[in-house]
Amino acid sequence: MRYLIPILLFLGCTATEQPLQEAEAGTAVGPRYSLGQWSFHRALFDGEMDNFEFIATAGEMDFAGVELVNQFFADRANDRDFLDSLRTAADEAGIALTMLLIDGAGNLASSDPAERDSAVARHLEWVAAAEHLGIRDLRVNAHGDGSYEEVLEAATDGVGRLAEAARASGVRILVENHGGWSSNGAWLTEMLRRLSPSGVGAVADFDNWCYQRDNGQLWGGNCTQRYNRYEGTQELMPYAGGVSVKAFNFTADGQEPDMDFATLFDIIRGSGYDGYLGIEYEGDSLPAREGIEKTRALAEQSWPRTPVVTEAAVERIDSTLSGFVRDGDIAGISALIYEKGEEKYFGAFGDADRERDVPMDRNTIVQIYSMTKPITGVALMQLYEQGKFKLDDPLADHLPEFADVQVYAGGGSAGKMQTRQPERPITVRDITRHTAGFYSGGDTPGLQEAYAAADVMNYENTLTEMGSRLGRLPLLFDPGSQWHYGPSVDVQALLVERLSGQSFDDYLREHVLDPLGMNDTRYFVPEADRDRLSAAYLRDDDGTLSQLPNEDAHAFNTERWALTPGGFGLTSTLDDYMTFARMLLNEGSLNGTTILQPATVRLMRTNQLADDVSERLWLPSKGQVGFGIDFAVRQRPPATAEENPGAVGEFFWDGAASTVFWVDPANELTAVLFVQLFPFDRVGLHHDFRRAVYGPFRGVSAE
């Protein structure tokens, strides 16, 4: 039974590095609205309104700012008298000039270097105009010709050179999802990540997510490839210097029928964005002014956060959790929820140890298994903040054990393997997102036998010995090509040891657990506390629930072993783990103690999986998610009532014994659910608990 934990672990849990936003979590008290000039584009193009009348109208409508579009004064970039008149008009209207949107100044991502040079030069004229107008933000397009990667390379060059030149003028370059590859969220996010040192940000537009059309052009024609608007918005918000709140049509009750504003505003609010919200009406069924007012009214209705854990929710949660115990699906369960910094729910039902008649309680100690992983990730990212490594460093630069790793290329019945060179080295980023290629079990002839013989996770191994044995085994696939759960986070623990010069256990205690007061979170549970240690339970296929012998189930935590894994092994209590979750919600700090910087937490909760990582083992079973640094990250609303509920932008993970926690920035909510049930959640605990918290399923447009 000594290897019960690794077996159950396998059966069970079936960005950019400096995002633009730096606002502290929860500091935004309410949005400021600016008016997008394009909302009046028909009147402006028809000569029924001029630029000065637009500014005056925005002031009359009580907007705080306006977003100017150069199409309405395309030949006036160098006309200082005209620009001065615009500033005067804004002053007289009591309104700020918040952004200048540039179109028609050449393709910054053209495949022709000379055309890119010309586009940069023409855009720089508008940079000078923005500086003269006192406008900080210049929105540009990243249009070009070619494949995904070709346009990405060209845009990185063209936009990057423009941004570097604009910085000298105090002007920030923002790129909008605005046709072509820029309307593919993954593409635009990757470009922003590459250009983050130049300060390039994004304008997140609620629409404009079609990136391929049947006519091969940016506009017109039928859309053949569309990016999910909620996923795209969630990806762009860490970089957002502007948001375009756009609407086309309205239902009788004032909703936009094709966009779920509640979800989009959850994403905005959860990101900590505190800049202007640009109102843009693009419909043709209402007069412009009426459409603008309806769009702003919908935004104002969508901004306030509705409390989640109401009295009705408490009743649902109690009924749900007690019902699992009553029906015999589990022996005992407990849950703790905080919302807006206050405890909103605690409940404990059934037995922690049925044989000893010990009830589940608030101070019950449970084995958290893979919920160890996020704690390890926090420890590693502290060293990232200290400049000890970069995420795209080859892992072997820091852990030479992995310098000569090979990739499995086939095996025979005798257990012999064929191997080849990997297409690229393992990076540190790979071990934070499970794309390193490490084998962790399954029917793979040759590799399966070699892994068993290596005995990588033997409890007697130190982390150094674990790494040495793992580094001699072939990878299952090329680094970066698949998501495959395995020993990556144990390698993170080894990296922490190597970079810090401390044992991993000592590092965790000194730099994460003790500063947060997480005294019950540890590998070894002393004799005096073992009466609080929950038993573990096995549910057979026929529904029979049996208690595993404590001496076997607790073997890892009641003896001191050489191995201190990063991927499993810690124990904790509800309050301890809630402290950890609340620190993450508060972007790295809690009760005056700082564990990480806000930008680092945002990086960790940002999806790190590119679209071409299509093989993701069982990760899709978690819902509409990507994967950040040691967390799953919810990218889209649940598509069906059967999926686990949750808010876009939440990040979470679970453990082999069916525990789970999540952090929901949009609702300022953290939840921890503790139970000790094997195999991993075959009774729908997580789904039903989440449904009890969030209430009935509300379908959201798939786009």
Write out pLDDT tens, residues 422-457: 999 999 999 999 999 999 888 888 899 999 999 999
Q: What is the rounded average pLDDT of the residues 593-609?
A: 96
What is the residue-wise DSSP string for 651-662?
A: EEEE-TTS-EEE
C-beta separation of 646 from 664 below 8 A: yes
Q: Which of 698, 696, 673 is nearest to 686 (CA)?
A: 673
The one-letter amino acid code at 26 reads: G
* pLDDT tens per residue across span 121-148: 999 999 999 999 999 999 999 999 999 9
C-beta separation of 313 from 671 below 8 A: no
Paired residues of 365 in beta bridges? 533
Please give the Cα distance from 399 to 702 (Å, whole number).
Answer: 43
Q: What are phi and psi of 80, to 5 degrees?
A: -65, -35
What is the residue-wise DSSP string for 498-540?
A: HHHSS-HHHHHIIIIIHHHT-TT-BSPPPGGGGGGBPP-EEE-
Q: For position 12, what pLDDT does the model report?
A: 41
654 Cβ neighbours under 8 A, 6+ residues apart: 13, 370, 371, 660, 661, 680, 681, 686
CB atoms within 10 A of CB 663: 24
Instruction: Say if residue 10's pLDDT is above 50.
Output: no
Q: Which of 165, 121, 119, 164 is nearest to 141 (CA)?
A: 119
* pLDDT tens per residue across span 638-667: 999 999 999 999 999 999 999 999 999 999
417 pLDDT tier (thresholds 50, 70, 90):
confident
Lowest mean pLDDT among 282-296, 362-376, 689-703: 689-703
Q: For position 17, what pLDDT does the model report?
A: 52
Instruction: Say if residue 11's pLDDT is above 50.
Output: no
> Torsion over CA of 313, 317, 318 and 322, rounded to 10 degrees?
160
Please give the Cα distance from 533 to 352 (Å, whole number).
Answer: 8
Q: How many CA atoms lie within 13 A of 406 on its CB side?
A: 11
Tokens of 648: 């876009």
Helix axes 463-471, 488-500, angle to 10 degrees: 120
CB atoms within 10 A of CB 698: 13
Instruction: Say if residue 569's pLDDT is above 90.
Output: yes
Entry field: residues in the chain: 703
Instruction: Say if residue 331's pLDDT is above 80.
Output: yes
Tokens of 452: 């068993």
Choice between 11 and 151, residue whose per-residue pLDDT is larger: 151
192 pLDDT tier (thresholds 50, 70, 90):
very high
Q: Which of 665, 699, 483 is nearest to 586 (CA)?
A: 665
Q: Mean pLDDT of all residues in the chain?
A: 94
Q: What is the DSSP letter of 492?
A: H
Instruction: Say if residue 262's pLDDT is above 80.
Output: yes
Tokens of 522: 């540890």
Give the residue extent of every domain in the chain. 32-302
Instruction: Say if residue 488's pLDDT is above 50.
Output: yes
The terminus-to-terminus CA distance of the chain in angstroms comes to 49
CA 19 to chain centre: 12
Q: What is the rounded average pLDDT of the residues 523-545?
A: 97
Phi-psi region of 254 (alpha: psi -120 to 50; beta: other; left: phi over 0): left
261 pLDDT tier (thresholds 50, 70, 90):
very high
Q: What are phi and psi of 563, to 5 degrees?
A: -80, 125
* pLDDT tens per residue across span 535-560: 999 999 999 999 999 999 999 999 99
698 pLDDT tier (thresholds 50, 70, 90):
confident
Tokens of 258: 């094709």
Q: For position 470, what pLDDT does the model report?
A: 97
Tokens of 672: 């921890």
C-beta separation of 322 from 692 below 8 A: no
Please give the Cα distance from 267 to 71 (Å, whole number).
Answer: 30
Please give the Cα distance from 367 to 264 (Å, whole number).
Answer: 37
Q: Which of 334, 250, 241, 260 is nearest to 292 (CA)?
A: 250
Say what percent of the chain tops pLDDT 70: 95
Q: Are strands 137-140 and 65-69 parallel, antiparallel or unpaired?
A: unpaired
Q: What is the rounded average pLDDT of the residues 357-367?
A: 97
29 pLDDT tier (thresholds 50, 70, 90):
low
Distances (CA, A) of 161 to 16, 150, 198, 528: 19, 17, 9, 63
Please give the Cα distance from 51 to 57 (Å, whole number).
Answer: 10
CB atoms within 10 A of CB 76: 16
14 pLDDT tier (thresholds 50, 70, 90):
very low
700 pLDDT tier (thresholds 50, 70, 90):
confident
Q: For position 701, what pLDDT does the model report?
A: 67
Distances (CA, A) of 210 to 88, 203, 204: 38, 16, 14
Q: What is the rounded average pLDDT of the residues 499-506?
A: 98
Tokens of 431: 């071990």
CA angle 261/700/211 to nearest 5° reads: 80
Q: Does the domain at residues 32-302 carry the CATH identifier 3.20.20.150? A: yes
Instruction: Say if residue 15's pLDDT is above 70.
Output: no
Please give the Cα distance from 139 to 162 (Å, whole number).
Answer: 12
Q: For position 443, what pLDDT does the model report?
A: 87
**If you compute the radius of gyration of the chain from its CA atoms, what whole number of angstroms results?**
27
Paired residues of 482 in beta bridges? 615
Q: What are phi and psi of 323, to 5 degrees?
A: -65, -40
Choice between 639 and 11, residue whose per-residue pLDDT is larger: 639
CA angle 124/128/131 to nearest 5° reads: 135
CB atoms within 10 A of CB 556: 23
21 pLDDT tier (thresholds 50, 70, 90):
very low
- What stretches of 147-194 show up as alpha helix (H) in DSSP? 148-167, 185-194
Q: Which of 92, 35, 91 is nearest to 66 (CA)?
A: 35
Q: What are phi and psi of 260, to 5 degrees?
A: -90, 95
Instruction: Say if residue 5's pLDDT is above 80.
Output: no
414 pLDDT tier (thresholds 50, 70, 90):
low
Say what percent of the chain tops pLDDT 90: 91
Lowest mean pLDDT among 646-650, 672-676, 696-700: 696-700
CA torsion sign for 460, 464, 466, 472 is negative
DSSP E strands in 23-87: the ranges are: 32-36, 65-69
What is the residue-wise DSSP string for 530-572?
A: GGGBPP-EEE-TTS-EEEPPHHHHTTTTSS--S---SSS--EE
Q: For position 415, what pLDDT does the model report?
A: 62
Q: For position 2, what pLDDT does the model report?
A: 44
3-state secondary structure of 702: coil
Q: What is the rounded average pLDDT of the residues 399-406?
A: 97
Tokens of 658: 């069916």
Q: For position 30, what pLDDT does the model report?
A: 73
CA torsion sign for 573, 272, 165, 74 is positive
The one-letter amino acid code at 27 reads: T
Q: What are phi and psi of 33, to 5 degrees?
A: -105, 135
Q: What is the rounded average pLDDT of the residues 136-164?
A: 97
